[in-house]
Each structure stands twice: as C-alpha cells, then as structure tokens.
C-alpha cells in the first residue's frame, strides 16, 4: 500500500508528458492517490483526457486560473464526484514571451507585470480561497517555484518577481490555513526542459551550466520532484508548512563555479 493511499489530490498544470505536474502525478499514482486533473483550455482537453487514463482517473475538467469564474466552476464540477479532497498541486506559470527574452528594465511594463503576477502568483491564492470549504482538515497544497525568486537570473525577469510573490503567498497561506490543519508548501525545482521553460531565452545554456555547477553534477528528474511533492501531500510531512524546499541537486547553495584549467 502506497503512502498516499486514500488521498484525493487535484493536479493542475499538465501540458504534456514533459510537464513537472505529469511527473508529480506519476509518483502520486504510484503511491496510491486518487487523482483529478484540470486543463487550461480546449487545446489541451484531449491530450489531458488521454494522459489521465494512465492514472485511472476520469475526472478531467477545464480551469483557466486567470478567471475566478472558471476556478469556481472547476470546483463546483469537481464536487459532483468529490465532496471533499486532500489537496492540490499548483504547477502553473505564464508570462508573455517578450518578458523572458530581453533585459529586465527594457522589457518590463505594467500590463505584462500584472498578467505574470496574476497567473503565476495570485492564482495559487485564488485556488486556495475558492476551494477552502472542500479541503479536508489535513489537506496539503503545493506549488512550484524557481531560484529566480531569490537571485537575479538573466531573462527570468518579471517571472522572478512573480515567484518571489508566490513564495510569500505560500507563507501567508500556511499561516492563515494552518489553524484548520491545512499545510502549504512550495518546491523550488531545478531546471527541467518543459514547454514553459523553453520560452526562457538561453534555457539550454542555463541547463548545461547547472549540470556542471550543481553539487550533484547532474540535472534532476521529474520523478525526484514528484517524490518530494508526494511526500509533502502525505502524512509523512505533517509537521512541515510554509516551507520552500529546493529540489535542485543543491544548486542554490553554490556561488561561482571556478573549477577547471
């Protein structure tokens, strides 16, 4: 019996089988969780319906997190099958492509800043707020963040500021929801080649620098992120909330890589 058996978890943010959320779903299924899936729009519907069969799930519903009505409808429809549930994975981020290409001061503007923060940071709070009456007492919420929140990383730009807000949201939600026994944590993942990541200029360069410089001298896998997400949604982590856990092979503890000739 897996350590998530009996848990019902909502998985957001699958765009393909390279998505971090897909890796998380795989591990959660392995550990016995029942899963429900959301997809952003009709373009992804068929693909997510097909992927969900791998996890023996027939709960696949649309949810565009830029719209409170869409989030509300998602949870109302979910409640027809699940009256309550044990948590969700928020694996969603978006910034207009131009924001992830140039120099921060040149490309940043009010409109794109607001959109990036709305979809990549506020949506975590919106999902928690709208679903709170369906969340069980020991529920666990997990979001995905990146080191660009703590350090200035070329081309990550406004997404870095949104991830900083997302991490602060994690702490405020943890404090606010803790009195009901609900835990809220974030995983700061090392770089993984996904649709979202490929929008960041020089992402391949980032990945190879990371592989050479990280203490483990390799990239991390979807399964390694999935294992930590599953742990955070399980009772094994019952004393942990408000944390940002780095699953990055230790990259965040390093400074400069001066090895070599």
If one counts every other C-beta atom within 10 angstroms of the C-beta of residue 202, the result is: 11
Has 146 been annotated as catalytic?
Answer: yes
Residue 257 φ then ψ, to 5°: -100, 105
- Pick the closer one to ligand NAD by CB: 28 or 189: 189
The SS3 call for residue 41 is coil
Contact 242, 185 (CB under 8 A): yes
Q: Taking CB under 6 A as the rule, which mask of x and - marks residues 145-164 in contact with ligand NAD? A: xx------------------
Rounded CA gap, 37 and 88, in Å?
Answer: 10
- Pick the closer one to ligand NAD by CB: 43 or 179: 43
Instruction: Give the shortest CB-217-to-ligand NAD separation in angstroms.
Output: 18
Return the residues of window 17-76 that contact ligand NAD according to CB under 6 A.
19-21, 40, 63-66
Number of residues that bind ligand NAD (CB under 6 A): 26
Query: Which of 95, 169, 194, 237 touches ligand NAD (CB under 6 A)?
Result: 194
Q: Which of 87, 49, 25, 57 minimizes the C-alpha distance to 222?
A: 25
142 is a site residue for ligand NAD (CB under 6 A):
no
Q: Which of 146, 155, 209, 210 is catalytic?
A: 146
Alpha-helical (H) ranges within the chain are 20-30, 42-53, 68-79, 104-107, 110-117, 123-131, 157-177, 195-198, 203-213, 222-233
Rounded CA gap, 92 and 113, in Å?
Answer: 16
Single out the segment in contact with ligand NAD by CB under 6 A; choices: 3-11, 186-194, 212-220, 237-245: 186-194
Per CB under 6 A, residues contacting ligand NAD are: 13-15, 19-21, 40, 63-66, 91-94, 119, 144-146, 189, 191-192, 194-197
**Catalytic sites, residue numbers:** 146, 156
């Amino acid at each position: 019996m897996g350590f998530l058996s009996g848990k019902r978890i909502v998985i957001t943010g699958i765009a393909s089988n390279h998505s971090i959320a897909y890796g998380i779903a795989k591990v959660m299924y392995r550990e016995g969780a029942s899963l429900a899936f959301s997809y952003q729009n009709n373009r992804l519907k068929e693909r997510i319906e097909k992927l969900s069969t791998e996890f023996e799930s027939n709960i696949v519903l649309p949810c565009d997190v830029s719209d409170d009505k869409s989030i509300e409808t998602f949870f109302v429809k979910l409640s027809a099958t699940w009256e309550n549930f044990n948590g969700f994975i928020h694996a969603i981020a978006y910034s207009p492509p131009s924001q992830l290409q140039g120099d921060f001061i040149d490309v940043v503007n009010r409109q794109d800043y607001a959109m990036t923060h709305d979809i990549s940071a506020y949506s975590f709070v919106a999902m928690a707020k709208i679903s709170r009456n369906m969340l069980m007492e020991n529920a666990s919420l997990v979001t995905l963040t990146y080191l660009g929140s703590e350090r200035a990383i070329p081309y990550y730009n406004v997404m870095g500021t949104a991830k900083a807000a997302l991490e602060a949201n994690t702490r405020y939600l943890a404090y606010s929801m803790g009195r009901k026994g609900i835990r809220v944590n974030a995983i700061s993942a090392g770089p993984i080649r996904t649709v979202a990541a490929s929008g960041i200029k020089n992402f391949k360069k980032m990945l190879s620098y990371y592989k050479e410089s990280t203490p483990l001298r390799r990239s991390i896998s979807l399964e390694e992120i999935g294992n930590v997400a599953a742990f955070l949604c399980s009772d094994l982590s019952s004393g942990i909330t408000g944390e940002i856990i780095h699953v990055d092979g230790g990259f965040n503890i390093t400074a400069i890589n001066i090895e070599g000739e």
